[in-house]
Amino acid sequence: MRLHTFKIGGVHPEENKITAEIETRNAALPKVAIFPLGQHIGAPAKPVVKRGDVVKVGTLIAEAGGFVSAPIYSSVSGTVAKIDTSIDATGYRKPVIIINVEGDEWEDGIDRSEKIESIAEHPELTPENISDTIKKSGITGMGGAGFPTFIKLCPPPTAKAECVIINGVECEPYITSDYRLMMEHAEEVIVGLQLLMKATKVERGYIGIEENKPEAIKLLTQLTADDSRIEIVELAQKYPQGGEKQLVDAVMNRQVPAPPAIPVNVGAIVQNVGTAYAVYQAVMKHKPLFERYTTVTGKQVKNPGNYLVRMGTTFAELIRACGGMPEGDNKVLAGGPMMGKSVMSLDVPVTKGTNSITILSGDDAHRKAMQPCIRCGKCVEVCPMGLEPYLLATLSANKLYERMENEGATSCMSCGSCQFTCPSHRPILDNILQGKGVVMGMIKARNVKK
């Protein structure tokens, strides 16, 4: 049988999932935890603590700063040292809350037992209070983009949700945190999916997993055997299948139109495996979002692995736990090699969206020398959004931003397939992203005028 996948474009980067079979360890508690106030899409959170306040694990330290925003909870117990600015993944200084860690005392309400709660044992849960708990627990998309989850659960009145798709694709090379989560906490992930289905009042749930994770497919298929509403969909391996729109295409064979359309316009609500797990933790265990699964990996890292990390732990501490930085030139990425953002300082903390720290060493750390465009059209062939990357890049380089908008620049999801496949190693995506930033600014200015 031919496996499902998305229809347009796509590439096959080397997998390099070196940490796939390494069991998750608990990362050591940091000495100082740093919480950026803007770790999600939308308005930054507003601090509700001040210098000298004593906090516990799970204490609210910042509340949502607007409708599209999310609260932040402390992952450590200790004293608030200061509310200041600190370097973030881009190198710019952003507002943060810094907490000095003293011990490991948890808030009383959090259920720390191992017992797995099933949805049948909790008839008191209604769609409204599940959504509300998700909102209050500060859950945002755990796959990287960090969109507040509760907003996805209340679709616009013009759209109707028909199913929830759990994204267990993890098509990005190197990263294994979602895979480990599915292997180690499969039951919780499934309960998380059931909760999401209840919250959105749908009767259909899918978990999309690529064929390179047969163990996870087997395990989840077994565990969902008694719930006919849930289907595990085995997908052919292709990057960027983990993109929302690609996943909807692969699982449901429905195409999401160009922005501003979102998957729910064709009836799908897509959530990451990590998000489903966080939903379970929040609703069943009363545990807000303050820790996550993160892979620390790289071909030359001495001791790569998967970690359950308290947010606010710096990259430096995690890399030290893995045997330190390899010799020579290294590129440290927050995320994987395709879509990850290289960080310029290791004092950057793990946030809600940090699914991996990938260290590329030696030759991998450098870009190859750029050559002239030979008009081979490979970038057009692989673009999963059906765009013409070479054209967008040229338009951006020549500052023709209006035309860029007409050519669909806002559809670009920066998957990097074009740049990956370019035989001339041209910085196509760099150009597009720079131009897209300008185009987004133009659209925003236009909307404000209206």
Partner 1 sequence: MNFILTSVIALGAIALISSVVLYLVSKKFAVNEDPRIGTVSELLPGANCGGCGFAGCSGMACALVAGADNGSIEGLRCPVGGGEVMEKIADTLGMAASSSEPLVAVVRCNGTCDNRPRIAEYDGLHTCAAVNSTSAGETECGYGCLGCGDCVGVCQFDAIHMNPETCLPEVDEEKCTSCGACVKACPRNIIELRKKGPDGHRVYVQCVNKDKGAVAKKACSVACIGCGKCEKVCQSDAITIENNLSYIDFNKCSVCTKCVDECPTGAIVKINFTIKKEAEVEA
Compute CA 334 distance to the chain's CA centroid, rounded to the nearest angstrom: 11
CB 240 within 8 A of CB 413: yes
DSSP label at residue 335: B
Q: Does the protein bind partner 1 through residue 22 (CB under 8 A)? A: no
Nearer to partner 1, 388 or 430 (CB): 430
Site membership for partner 1, residue 87 (CB under 8 A): yes
CB-based contacts of 128, cutoff 8 Å, min separation 6: none
Q: Is 300 in the site for partner 1 (CB under 8 A)?
A: no
Please report, as residue ranges, which positions from 353 to 372 form the binding site for partner 1 (by CB under 8 A): 366-367
Q: Confirm or reject binding of residue 402 to partner 1 (CB under 8 A).
A: no
Q: Does 394 bind partner 1 (CB under 8 A)?
A: no
DSSP string, 205-266: EEEEEETT-HHHHHHHHHHTTT-TTEEEEEE---BTTTSHHHHHHHHH-----STT--GGGG
Which of 25, 31, 85, 103: binder of partner 1 (CB under 8 A)? 85
Q: Which two tokens stand for residue 1?
A: 């049988």
Nearest by Cα to 28 from 98, 75, 96 = 75
Residue 255 CB, nearest distance to partner 1 (Å)?
A: 30
Where does this chain touch partner 1 (CB under 8 A) — which range of 88-96, 102-110, 124-132, 180-188? 88-96
Q: Is 344 in the site for partner 1 (CB under 8 A)?
A: yes
Ranges within 417-446 binding partner 1 (CB under 8 A) = 427, 430-431, 433-434, 437
85 token code pair: 């600015």
CB 99 → partner 1: shortest distance, Å?
19
Out of 345, 394, 410, 424, which residue is the one contacting partner 1 (CB under 8 A)?
345
Cβ-based burial of 48 (10 A; exposed 0-12, middle 13-18, buried ≥19): middle
Task: Name, in order, each residue with C-beta under 8 angstroms of 377's C-beta and a sequence gap of 6 or more.
Answer: 390
> At 309, phi and psi to the nearest 5?
-110, 135
CB of 52 to partner 1, least distance (A): 20
329 near partner 1, judged by CB under 8 A: yes
Binding partner 1 (rule: CB under 8 A), the pick from 25, 26, 66, 91 is: 91
Instruction: CB nearer to partner 1: give 222 or 398.
Output: 398
Q: Return residues touching partner 1 (CB under 8 A).
A: 85, 87, 90-93, 329, 341-342, 344-345, 366-367, 427, 430-431, 433-434, 437
